[in-house]
Amino acid sequence: MIRYELDDIAAREYWIGEVVTDKRFRGQGVAKALIQQAIARARQQAITELWLYTPDQQAFRQRLGWQAVEQRQVAEETVTGGSAEPPADSVT
């Protein structure tokens, strides 16, 4: 987790960031396991809301229960920002 990865909106404090899976290991559940671990850790710390953004993995994040909130420019790239409070079953 990262605090204030994008810091222009103070309420968006905790972020899951930089989840990248080597192409050789995609489709094996690696990214899903990393995200689930971050969610579980957030819950242990009583963090109730997480955020993330992605340039190209919107469908994957939506399958995990994340909701797209906005599109914006980050480092000269259009990305989709996602909200959190992911559903409980996204950790199972």
pLDDT at 85: 60
- Residue 7: predicted pLDDT: 87
For position 74, what pLDDT does the model report?
A: 85
Residue 74 belongs to what H/E stretch? strand 67-74
Residues in the chain predicted with pLDDT less than 70, given as ranges, are 84-92
- What local confidence, expressed as pLDDT, does residue 92 receive? 38
Place of tokens 């992911």: 86
Q: What is the pLDDT of residue 88?
A: 52
pTM for the predicted model, two decimal places: 0.74
- At residue 86's C-alpha, the angle toward residues 82 and 89, to 5°, is 140
- Would you state the pLDDT for residue 25? 93
